[in-house]
Structure 1
Amino acid sequence: MRKIRTLFLFIVFALWAAIILGRLFYLQIIKGEYYQALAFGQQVSLQDSLAQRGDIFFNDGKNILAQNVLVPVLYIFPDQIPESDKEQIVQTLASVLGEDVDIIAKQVESQNVIKREINNEQYKILRAKNFKGVSLSQTSLRVYPYKSLAAHITGFVNREGRGQYGVEEYYDDILRGNDVVAPKNYFLAIWNNLFSNQKNDWQTKGKSLSLTIDFKIQSYAQKLLEEAFEQWKMDSGQIIVQEPQSGKILAMAFYPEFDPNRYYEQKHWDIFMNNALQTLFEPGSVFKPFTMAAGLEESLITPQTVFVDKGFVEVGGPPIYNFGHREWGTKTMIGVLENSINTGAVFVEQKLGRNLFWQYIQKFGFLEKTNIDLAGEVFSNNTTLKNGYPRDFASASFGQGVQITSLQLLRAFSAIANEGKMMRPYIVEKIIDTNGKEKIVEPVLEKQMISQDTAAKITAMLVSVVENGGGRRARVPRYYMAGKTGTAQIPKPSGGYYENETIQSFIGFGPAFSPRFVILVRLDNPKQSDVASSCAAPIFSKMAKYIIDLWEIPPDEQPTINN
């Protein structure tokens, strides 16, 4: 009998505990947000967490690209406002907030909880009033001190507290702390500890990031793009700078820009896209060095191999012509690059053959992502080209009909500068925890794209392009630069190409025989320039000269001193 009584009492107690816990679960978990808001300032109150998102720095670790600041927040709980005080509170709120009395009155009468950010002065005034039903707190707001500078790299944090685009999206889980509204409620805390994975460490800050981006180089690149727009009125533009030996991105500037502090004001959301990795383009003649590199790697040509140009070549379908229908006559492969001869590139492609040429397109990384640590990267399988006709492959030899991203182009060109070694491009250099402990991101060698010997040969050919060919305006006095121009027609969505719209670019590295940087300049549809040698090449020269002066790189040629 005693055992039965004990069992009965245990069952009663268990049922009672289950009912209590079930009710607590309903009130605190299922209806938790509702009652938290309803009871603000009473026995269950809300406390905006001081937990913050991690900061984002330039590579100097000092200049801050993104950080969180605490801003005052006003909460209005209409059902908590005494009827006798309502008119005074409405009048005061309207006056302090600078809004119409009728608007505030309607909000109060709506019985909906109101939350809004206010400034420090408004916070002080309302705090002194101490109105019942009006509560003040602080919340963490993401700010970008340099506004549009490097905005396409950082991205932004949306109103739900999630990173969108760029570093903010790619590293969202790392940057985000427990930035939540923390209830001062012991029952919920006990429930979380016993039955939930949710912890009560409400103030854990996210980790911070130190980027590879150089503040001075990024700022100057942005300045050059703004000047380019004033002169050339291009639709858009970009300048990217990379360290070839490591893959570090030192600058990634775009035009037009946006202010991530006010991202919600943008009418066209495509402005947020990072066009270096989120859009495809046909590169034009900057692709020719890769065709040449493939021929050199396979020992099918040498820099001195002779080619006789007739001004056109027929491979089925309409003839392929040189720019301006010019006929160049007898030229070496160096001369083909110097003068950017389309038919010379086709000559090398035909020596390679369709299958081998396609293998090199793949080897150069143009059929895969670069795997840079930024959100939203795209790539093309170039299926149309793969399944195309001989003329399609011939056109691809000089960069027409093959779709790539700017970042793919930069990565492959950097491999030429790095003795044929392809490095993975990256943006984040250090991950810093809340205790200041740093995790260094190490460079990643992806593959030996071409041999060191081939890289040396193509480098010498590219130096000749700058010294003697179409890249003369990219020269920097007393330094050897290696590079190539590209003027590509823009394809129509319906097929064919626009007659008067082009993408004009220059990509190069320097000092050529001991490279410290690779620079890509790309201007989309500049209005007052027919060829890249007029607009993109001079911008490269300015950017290269700035970096050389900034880093105090010794010259290749010593100046003559007259006694």
Structure 2
Amino acid sequence: MKDPLIHRLRIVGVIMFLFAGIIIGRLFFLQIVSADHYKREANNQYVAVSEEEFDRGKIFFKEKNNTTLSASSVKSGFVLALTPSLLPEDKEGVYDKLSSVVDIDKEDFLKKAEKKGDPFEDIAHKLTSKQAETIKSYAIPGVKSYREDWRLYPAGNLSSHVLGFVGYKGDKLVGRYGIEEYYEDVLKRGSDNDFLINSFAEIFLNTGKNLFAGDKNSGTKVDREGDIVLTIEPKVQLFLEDTLDKIMDKWDSSLSGGIIIEPKTGRILAMAAKPDFNPNHYGDETDLSVFVNPNIESVFEFGSIMKPLTIAAALNDKVITPNTTYDDKGYISLNGSRIENYDGKARGIVDMQEVLNHSLNTGAVFAMQQLGKDRFYDYIIKYGFGDYTGVDLPGEVKGLISNLDSSREIEYATASFGQGVALTPIEMTRALSTMANGGELMKPYVVDKILVAGGLDINIEPKKQDNVLSKETSKKITSMLINTVDTALLNGTVKLEHYSLAAKTGTAQLPSVDDKGYDKDKYLHSFFGYGPAYDSRFLVFLYVKEPVGARYASETLTYPFMDLMKFLLNYYEVPPDR
């Protein structure tokens, strides 16, 4: 028979263990789950309470070493307010006291102080707790402060088109544009009675219900509400934005934009367009079009950067090889229209490598004709043109390829070199990545992870949407594009000694304002490239609209591209490949 003393000790031990569990659970609840509640109670000791409280999930950039950096958070402070009818007669004296604590416009203060019919007038916002305490200590009748929370974007303009902002929609503060809008259901927060995430109670469900009964934040509702970690790398984003600013300044252009993507995964490391905005002061903008992200919400005819995709498709179907030749007469006539090379010159017998090196329109048409209209159209669809990419940002539009509904060969011919089909930058970036990653169409994305209380994080994984090119074709077209950089791009003067890069420029006339043909004096320049070419870590896509003083993209975008590539290869410490 077991010793009764041992039996009693075991019972005591179990009781002590359960008691310790209760204490630990209670401490977790008080310090973690109810932290915000008790913080508010502390604030209420010296301020009036606002009827509305604002709370929202955080957004983080993700640095290359996997650490996070705040991109968007909630900042707390106080509002200084007046009840004019309760103020002392000496308004000047009141002003002097308050202005010694916080910067207040005197004229505005005195004007509001005389509005005795108004029960409430805000005087200053975003006071610190120390300022609020000091004002409270003055005990001035009719003067009070109350807590306010607001959305803060610590990096200002950085990544503004990706982030969006929080603004009013009707009488509610909600995400507007960008991540703030797309992930509204994740970032929004309910009232104290709705937002009930209690990790301890999730583990010990029934115990939690009893232990925490009566507490405002107790409960077991598990929501998808959480914080967001972006794929955006802040230093890469900053370098891209600085580059775009320089392009805008140098060429006095109306728009510039760019995307840096990992072609193997679809992870977007940077995405930007200029002009942009400061989400902290979005109300200062008078032109609301600045909030639109042209990388996903605008379409462009990109011109010659389509040629490698056309040639890759023909290579993939084995109807041409890099050495296939044709007789370039400088022009081709189809359906009563004449298509010319950019300079109108004939080059005689040339192969497909020369088509890329000299950006020959007739060569792209030749490759399309070897495929045939039906197969060329099949590849247009497989590249994802005319469809959504699925990028996790709001407002994405489809590219315009309806001209290919026509049976006229001229429509397919012009599409082969990027005219007549209008695509979004993200759509084009996704398609170009197929040449860099072995032929796979990867879904682009800007959110890396959703952080949920209790360790229930949601990791966003790369998603392959289609197989477009064979690995063999990918290597062939990459080799051809390396040759273009090494021998033809600015006459081969910008190639990197220790890294292979594959790249191509694009110059396209802009449609005329009356929709009748093209404006001969206005251009859209584009440039894409990836490297190290045979094991690509990065694909960079750039464009600039209406540059002044330059006709060709090689003039405006070659050096910015090279600067970006050098930065990326150095920043990520990528080993040389040659």
Pairwise same-fold verdict (TM > 0.5) = yes
Kindly provide the CA deviation profile for residues 58-79 of structure 1, in whole angstroms up to 9, marking residues without a partner as x. Answer: 344332111111020234456x
Matches within 5 A, 1:416-427: 416-427=435-446
Counterpart secondary structure, 2:78: strand
- What is the TM-score with the length of structure 1 in the denominator? 0.82
Matches within 5 A, 1:126-165: 126-131=135-140, 133-159=142-168, 160-165=172-177
- 1:67 is matched with which residue: 58, 63, 73? 73
Q: Distance in 1 between matches of 2:538 and 2:264?
A: 9
Q: Distance in 2 between matches of 1:531 and 1:150?
A: 28
Kindly provide the CA deviation profile for residues 35-93 of structure 1, in whole angstroms up to 9, marking residues without a partner as x. Answer: xxxxx99xx97565474432333344332111111020234456xx55xx553578625
Matches within 5 A, 1:372-451: 372-387=391-406, 389-435=408-454, 437-451=456-470
Report deviation, 1:222: 1.6
Q: Quickly say closer, same or farther: Cα 1:61–1:435, change in 2 above 3 A.
A: farther
Q: Distance in 2 between matches of 1:370 and 1:70?
A: 38
Q: Which residue is equivalent to 2:182? A: 170
Kindly provide the CA deviation profile for residues 6-27 of structure 1, in whole angstroms up to 9, marking residues without a partner as x. Answer: xxxxxxxxxxxxxxxxxxxxxx
Q: Distance in 2 between matches of 1:304 and 1:179?
A: 68
Q: Quickly say closer, same or farther: Cα 1:181–1:130, change in 2 above 3 A.
A: farther
Q: Which residue is equivalent to 1:123? A: 132
Q: Quickly say closer, same or farther: Cα 1:50–1:229, change in 2 above 3 A.
A: closer
Q: Distance in 1 between matches of 2:497 and 2:191?
A: 53
Report deviation, 1:171: 0.8
Q: Which residue is equivalent to 1:520? A: 541
Tell me whether 351-360 or 413-422 shows the greater mean CA deviation.
Answer: 351-360
Q: In percent, how many aligned pairs have the same letter?
A: 31
Question: 2:499, 2:576 within 8 Å by CA — same for their partners in 1?
Answer: yes
Report deviation, 1:435: 4.9
Report deviation, 1:269: 1.1
Pair 1:497-2:518 in alignment: yes
Q: Which residue is equivalent to 2:37? A: none
Q: Distance in 2 between matches of 1:112 and 1:278?
A: 42
Counterpart secondary structure, 1:230: helix
Question: 2:81, 2:120 within 8 Å by CA — same for their partners in 1?
Answer: no
Q: Which residue is equivalent to 2:212? A: none
Q: Which residue is equivalent to 1:110? A: 118
Pair 1:53-2:57 in alignment: yes
Kindly provide the CA deviation profile for residues 257-311 of structure 1, in whole angstroms up to 9, marking residues without a partner as x. Answer: 2111111111111111111111000010000111112211222111111111000
Tell me whether 244-253 or 202-211 shows the greater mean CA deviation.
Answer: 202-211
Kindly provide the CA deviation profile for residues 301-322 of structure 1, in whole angstroms up to 9, marking residues without a partner as x. Answer: 1111111100000012231100
Q: Distance in 2 between matches of 1:303 and 1:399?
A: 20
Report deviation, 1:530: 1.4
Kindly provide the CA deviation profile for residues 144-198 of structure 1, in whole angstroms up to 9, marking residues without a partner as x. Answer: 111111111111111442111111111112112236899xxxxxxxxxxxxxxxx
Kindly provide the CA deviation profile for residues 123-143 of structure 1, in whole angstroms up to 9, marking residues without a partner as x. Answer: 344312334554422121111
Q: Distance in 2 between matches of 1:211 and 1:441?
A: 10
Q: Distance in 2 between matches of 1:454 and 1:306?
A: 18
Report deviation, 1:389: 2.9
Counterpart secondary structure, 2:535: coil
Question: 1:240, 1:521 within 8 Å by CA — same for their partners in 2?
Answer: yes
In structure 1, give the amino acid aligned to 2:186. Answer: I
Report deviation, 1:445: 1.0
In structure 2, give the amino acid aligned to 1:54. Answer: K
Tell me whether 464-473 or 290-299 shows the greater mean CA deviation.
Answer: 464-473
Question: 1:90, 1:105 within 8 Å by CA — same for their partners in 2?
Answer: no
Q: Distance in 1 between matches of 2:407 and 2:286?
A: 39
Q: Which residue is equivalent to 2:498? A: 478
Report deviation, 1:515: 0.9
Q: Distance in 1 between matches of 2:224 and 2:388?
A: 32
Question: 1:287, 1:399 within 8 Å by CA — same for their partners in 2?
Answer: yes
Q: Distance in 2 between matches of 1:113 and 1:217?
A: 44
Q: Which residue is equivalent to 1:461? A: 480
Q: Distance in 1 between matches of 2:505 and 2:534?
A: 19
In angstroms, what is the RMSD of aligned CA positions?
A: 2.8
Q: Which residue is equivalent to 1:87? A: 89
Counterpart secondary structure, 1:123: helix
Q: Which residue is equivalent to 1:35? A: none
Matches within 5 A, 1:136-535: 136-159=145-168, 160-178=172-190, 201=217, 207-387=226-406, 389-435=408-454, 437-470=456-489, 472=492, 475-495=495-515, 496-535=517-556
Q: Distance in 1 between matches of 2:282 and 2:49?
A: 32
Kindly provide the CA deviation profile for residues 458-501 of structure 1, in whole angstroms up to 9, marking residues without a partner as x. Answer: 11111111112246455222211111110011112422111111
In structure 1, give the amino acid aligned to 2:441. Answer: M
Question: 1:73, 1:138 within 8 Å by CA — same for their partners in 2?
Answer: yes
Q: Distance in 2 between matches of 1:135 and 1:53?
A: 29
Q: Distance in 1 between matches of 2:533 and 2:167?
A: 43
Q: Quickly say closer, same or farther: Cα 1:119–1:518, change in 2 above 3 A.
A: same
Q: Distance in 1 between matches of 2:489 and 2:405?
A: 31
Q: Distance in 1 between matches of 2:443 and 2:323?
A: 33
